[in-house]
Amino acid sequence: MSRLLVALQFGLMAAMVLRADPSRLGIAFAALLVAGLAIGAWAISANRPGNFNIRPEPKEGGLLVTAGPYRWIRHPMYLAVLVTMAAFVAAGDAAQAVLWLLLAGVLAAKAVREERGLVLVHPGYAAYRERTRAILPFVY
């Protein structure tokens, strides 16, 4: 199931990039793209090399990161993906929005699956989950 979720994620992202209308690459596209990439860079900088896993399962020997953007949300890379891909919604049509909603659903499913494993591997994860949001600060 983990590999299927990753394949769906990257398939939806590729579809959105390929469907983008170059004539609509304006300020909204640029702002969302830069914001998404900045969130992703912040999340990566809060991690240590080798602690990252694109599959929604705990990495063997992985550390629980609660600094940087992880202070407020448990899955800042998923937020980075959603914000970055929102740029392609701005450069597309209604079908792009549907693809983005499907992507959001896939990332939510990945988060649920990942957290099932993290709570088993990291004793402090349940308390961390209680004080943070999953993907969107103050909301979800």
Calpha distance 18→6 (Å, rounded): 18
Alpha-carbon dihedral 12, 13, 14, 16, rounded to 10 degrees: 90
For residue 93, CA distances in Å to 14, 70, 113 come to 15, 32, 31
Task: Please state, as a whole number, how many other Cβ atoms lie within 10 Å of the Cβ of residue 55.
Answer: 14
Of the listed ranges 23-37, 46-60, 100-114, 122-136, the one predicted with least confidence: 46-60
Is residue 138 pLDDT above 80, yes or no?
no
For residue 56, CA distances in Å to 33, 53, 87 come to 24, 7, 24
For residue 92, CA distances in Å to 79, 96, 104 come to 20, 6, 17
pLDDT digits (tens, 9 = 90+) for 86-115: 999 999 899 999 999 999 999 999 999 999
In the chain, the amino acid numbered 90 is: A
Q: Average model confidence (pLDDT) for the chain?
A: 95
Calpha distance 41→77 (Å, rounded): 9
In the chain, the amino acid numbered 32 is: L
pTM above 0.85, yes or no: yes
